[in-house]
């Protein structure tokens, strides 16, 4: 499958063995296979990755009963959104957990999530916009390190929804994680994404089954140039260097989005 298998890792949880490698000859990402025997057969799950193109060269370690994945978020050439990812970057940890079907998901380690300081909660709201795209700003001065959480539900027929950060409201310029309902995936991109490339985002997407009426918990941490989002055990890391503003918003296009449990927490505990 690959011309290079880097950072091999092998471990067992319950009845399943897991074999992880990082490859750079196909999608330049970490992938895994699973089996109930070291003799095989080794199964490729539908989503065989932990993150996107920007998360690389991780290995796992069991710490206090938790399986922690230690990898790094790649930097971009000359710290420029337009340029390609280059070798090495910033350490970043995912906690790996086993789903009921034996596949693996990732979440934020509690010690990382609990390190933030000043929380502000937004009242529950609904964005109903059947023929256009509408956003609601939930924070205006996030600074360069913050966490965000919300539960969202979208209605039948909704095309896209998502989260925008480092937003300049006057210029309508930001970064965003956009969930494409008709495509069952979410993508990191610049808004507006012109001229091409306004942001080199090849490989910064993840598969996610998007079902109308289902509640999705979104958690995101932004730390300077790194943005990390988690939805139902599916994670994506990205780099964001230009930082046009400091607003944070939720949006929906051609549909309706119900938002509950919306919280933004800025700064770190001392």
Confidence (pLDDT) at 196: 75
Specify the CATH number for the domain of residue 30.
2.115.10.20
Residues 51 and 148 in one domain: no
Question: Is residue 103's pLDDT more than 80?
Answer: yes
**Same domain (yes/no): 62, 145:** no
Instruction: Give 64 or 165, the one with higher predicted confidence.
Output: 165
Predicted TM-score (pTM) of this structure: 0.95
Same domain, 51 and 86: yes
pLDDT given at position 225:
97
* Contact (Cβ atoms closer than 8 angstroms) between residue 206 and residue 186: yes
Q: At residue 35, what are phi and psi to the nearest 5 degrees?
A: -155, 155
Asked which of 57, 87, 112 is the last residue of a domain, the reply is: 112
Model confidence pLDDT, tens digit, residues 131-148:
999 999 999 999 999 999
Tokens of 33: 């296979």
Contact between 164 and 251 (Cβ < 8 Å): yes
In a domain, 1, yes or no: no
Local structure of residue 111 (DSSP, 8 states) = H
Position 4 confidence tier, pLDDT thresholds 50, 70, 90: confident
d(CA 54, CA 241): 14
Q: Cβ distance 233 to 107 under 8 Å? A: yes
Write the pLDDT tens digit of every residue in 28-81: 899 999 999 999 999 999 999 999 999 999 999 998 889 999 999 999 999 999
Assess whether pLDDT exceeds 90 at residue 93. Answer: yes
Strand partners, 113: none
pLDDT at 112 (0 to 100): 95
The verdict on residue 139 lying in a domain is: yes
- My answer on whether 241 and 136 are in the same domain is yes
Same domain, residue pair 214 and 125: yes
Q: Give how far Cα 60 sits from Cα of 95, 114, 227, Å.
A: 9, 22, 21
Residues 144 and 90 in one domain: no
If asked whether residues 52 and 133 sit together in one domain, one would say: no
pLDDT of residue 235 exceeding 80: yes
Examine the domain organization and report whether 103 and 123 are in the same domain. Answer: no
Residue 72: closest CA among 18, 110, 28, 37: 28
Length of the chain: 270
Total domains in the chain come to: 2
Distance CA 61, CA 11 (A): 9
Q: Residue 181 has which token pair?
A: 């309902």
**Region 244-255: what's the mean pLDDT?**
98
pLDDT band (50, 70, 90) for residue 24: confident
**How far out from the chain centre does Cα 101 lie?**
22
Q: Which of 77, 112, 147 is the last residue of a domain?
A: 112
pLDDT surpasses 90 at 197: no
Is 197 among the domain residues?
yes
pLDDT at 195 over 90: no
User: What average pLDDT does range 212-234 have in this prediction?
Assistant: 98
Residue 87 has pLDDT above 90, yes or no: no
**What is the structure's pLDDT at 270?**
85
Say if residues 201 and 81 touch (Cβ distance below 8 Å): no
Residue among 203, 180, 200 at smallest CA distance from 251: 180
Q: What is the pLDDT of residue 92?
A: 95
Residue 223 token pair = 């730390």
Q: Which domain holds residue 95?
A: 6-112
End-to-end distance of the chain based on CA atoms, in angstroms? 47
| Residues 39-70 as b or e (16 or more Cβ within 10 Å = b) | eeeeeeeebbbbbbbbbbbbebeeeeebbbbe
Q: What is the pLDDT of residue 31?
A: 96
Among candidates 152, 165, 129, which has minimal Cα distance to 253? 129
124 and 253 fall within a common domain:
yes
Give the whole-number percent of the chain exceeding pLDDT 70: 100
Classified as helix, coil or strand, 24 is coil
Whether residue 172 is predicted with pLDDT greater than 80 in this model: the reply is: yes
What's the whole-number mean pLDDT along residues 165-170?
97
59-73 pLDDT, tens per residue?
A: 999 988 899 999 999
CATH number, residue 181: 2.60.120.560
Instruction: Report if residue 87 sits inside a domain.
Output: yes
Give the lowest-confidence range in 22-31, 180-189, 232-241: 22-31
Taking a C-beta distance cutoff of 8 angstroms, is the pair 163, 220 a contact?
yes
Q: Which of these three, 112, 140, 169, is where a domain ends?
A: 112
Whether residues 222 and 187 share a domain: the answer is yes
Task: Clarify whether residues 156 and 243 are in a common domain.
Answer: yes
């Amino acid at each position: 499958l690959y011309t290079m298998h880097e950072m091999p890792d092998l471990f067992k949880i319950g009845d399943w063995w897991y074999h992880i490698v990082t490859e750079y000859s196909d999608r330049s990402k970490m992938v895994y296979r699973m089996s109930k025997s070291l003799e095989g057969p080794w199964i490729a799950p539908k989503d065989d990755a932990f993150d996107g193109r920007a998360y690389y060269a991780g290995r796992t370690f069991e710490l206090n009963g938790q399986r922690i994945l230690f990898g790094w978020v790649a930097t971009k050439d000359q710290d420029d959104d337009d340029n390609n990812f280059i070798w090495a970057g910033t350490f970043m940890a995912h906690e790996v957990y086993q789903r009921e079907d034996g596949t693996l998901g990732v979440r934020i380690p509690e010690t990382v999530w609990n390190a933030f300081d000043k929380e502000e909660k937004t009242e529950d709201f609904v964005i109903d916009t059947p023929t256009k795209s509408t956003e609601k700003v939930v924070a205006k001065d996030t600074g360069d390190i913050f966490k965000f959480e919300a539960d969202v539900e979208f209605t039948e027929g909704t095309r896209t929804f998502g989260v925008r950060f480092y937003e300049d409201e006057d210029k309508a310029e930001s970064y965003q994680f956009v969930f494409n309902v008709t495509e069952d995936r979410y993508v990191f991109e610049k808004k507006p994404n012109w001229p091409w490339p306004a942001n080199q985002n090849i490989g910064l997407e993840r598969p996610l089954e998007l079902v109308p009426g289902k509640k999705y918990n979104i958690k995101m941490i932004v730390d300077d140039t790194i943005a990390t989002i988690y939805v139902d055990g599916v994670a994506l890391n990205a780099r964001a260097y230009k930082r046009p503003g400091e607003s944070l918003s939720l949006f929906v296009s051609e549909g309706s989005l119900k938002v509950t449990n919306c919280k933004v927490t800025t700064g770190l505990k001392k």
